[in-house]
Amino acid sequence: MLPIRYMKAAPTTYVLQFKNGRVRREGPGLSFLYYAPTTTLITVPLESADVPFAFQETTGDFQAVALQGQLTYRVSDPKKLSSILDFSISPSGLYRSEDYRKLPERLVHTMQTLMRAETQKLSLQEALTKSGTLSASVFATLKSSDAVAQLGVEILNLSLLSIRPTPEMAKALEAEAREALQRRSDEAIYERRNNAVEQERRIKESEFNTEIAAEEKRRQIRETQMAADIAIEQQRATLMEKRIETDRKEADSRAYALEATLKPVREMDWRAMMTLSDHGGDPKMMIALAFQEMASNAQKIGELNISPDLLRSLISSTVTTAALPSTQKGK
């Protein structure tokens, strides 16, 4: 049986055919016949590959964290990679060595070194809350790394799926976060109560301002009423003064008229006035005048005796004389 074999590769497999130390064929998805004793075949997979990883690192505050994620890569330069690692296959199609397993390990080790450097720059809380920033920084550094470029590999993606602290530290962080949340809750309750008190104060202040405005309005009304009453009283006082002035003038006028009327009478003798008056013939009046005359000339009278009988007779005669005209008139 001739040692001639047939090689057929998938489109995602880069094939290199070496014969006598020289490359006879190369390219993805080749199919050809070759002479097995003098030919060496190298197949490098070109499809993207996912490499999961999980390891522990230490943060800047000396806290251990467990990092878990996935690295995605593809071979961009199969000839460079085949010159570093052995991807040769046997006639049965199996790899002759375990070098094909070393590529993911080297990539993970390189990535872990970069991840350690970035993790040590962060505290535990920063590492737990900034996983996106951490993975993006490591991905950018890994993509431009010389170690990756020397392998002829292109890094497609780096996903940091989880960052977990130790169980004890996780409980401590949960307690701290719980206390912080409780503190914020208390602050929110205090703020709400404070706002309620402030609103109540504003309402009371508004009510007080309303009462003050109403009292000010009532005071203005009272002042207006008082001003109106004062104006009325002033008008009344002015009217009273005018009435007093008028009455005084009327009294002066009546006094002047009375004075003018009594002036001629004052100059006349009272006896003549009594004689001319209607009471001139009244006996009582005559007796009264007689007694008044005697009283006015008392210094000239030595002694005057008026007995009760004389006085009674004078009074009775006076009464009889005074009643006589009326009796005659009645007859």
For residues 63 and 36, membership in a common domain is answered with no
For residues 65 and 150, membership in a common domain is answered with yes
> CA 194, CA 182: separation in Å to the nearest integer?
18
CATH code, domain carrying 128? 3.30.479.30
For residues 40 and 74, membership in a common domain is answered with no
Closest by Cα among 271, 294, 288 to 322:
288
User: b vs e for 2-33, b when ≥16 Cβ sit within 10 Å of the residue's Cβ?
Assistant: eeeeebebeeebbbbbbeeeeeeeeeeebeee
HSE on the CB side for 65, CA within 13 Å?
A: 28
Give long-range contacts, CB 8 A cutoff, 24+ apart: 270-279. Answer: none
Among positive and negative, which fits the CA dihedral 235, 236, 242, 246? Answer: positive
> CA 44, CA 34: separation in Å to the nearest integer?
18
Examine the fold and report which residue of 165, 200, 219 is the final residue of a domain before the chain moves on: 165
Specify the amino acid at residue 50.
Answer: D
Look up the domain containing 25 and give its range.
1-47
Overall number of domains in the chain: 3
**pLDDT for residue 281:** 55
Token representation of residue 36: 């097995």
**pLDDT for residue 324:** 43
**pLDDT for residue 164:** 92
Q: Is residue 129 part of a domain?
A: yes
For residues 63 and 150, membership in a common domain is answered with yes
For residues 41 and 120, membership in a common domain is answered with no
Helix residue spans in the chain (DSSP H) = 78-84, 102-119, 124-129, 131-143, 146-150, 167-266, 270-276, 283-296, 308-330
For residues 58 and 160, membership in a common domain is answered with yes
Q: Is residue 326 part of a domain?
A: no
**pLDDT for residue 325:** 45
pTM (two decimals): 0.55
**pLDDT for residue 129:** 87
For residues 78 and 115, membership in a common domain is answered with yes
C-beta of residue 111 within 8 angstroms of C-beta of residue 53: yes
> CA 128, CA 122: separation in Å to the nearest integer?
9
**pLDDT for residue 253:** 85
For residues 7 and 105, membership in a common domain is answered with no
> CA 113, CA 142: separation in Å to the nearest integer?
10
Mean pLDDT, consecutive 10-residue stretches, the chain (331 aa), reads: 83 92 91 89 94 93 92 94 91 88 93 93 89 91 91 93 90 85 89 90 90 90 90 89 87 82 66 56 64 70 69 61 42 33
For residues 138 and 54, membership in a common domain is answered with yes
> CA 198, CA 88: separation in Å to the nearest integer?
82
C-beta of residue 134 within 8 angstroms of C-beta of residue 119: yes
CA-to-CA separations, 244 to 57, 60, 249, in angstroms, rounded: 117, 110, 8
Among positive and negative, which fits the CA dihedral 53, 154, 152, 8? Answer: positive
* Cβ neighbours of residue 247 closer than 8 Å, sequence gap 6 or more: none
Helix (H, G, I), strand (E, B) or coil at 279: coil
**pLDDT for residue 109:** 94
**pLDDT for residue 4:** 87
Examine the fold and report which residue of 111, 134, 165 is the final residue of a domain before the chain moves on: 165
For residues 123 and 60, membership in a common domain is answered with yes
- Please provide the size of the chain in residues: 331
Token representation of residue 326: 């009326």
Q: Is residue 135 part of a domain?
A: yes
Specify the amino acid at residue 284.
Answer: K
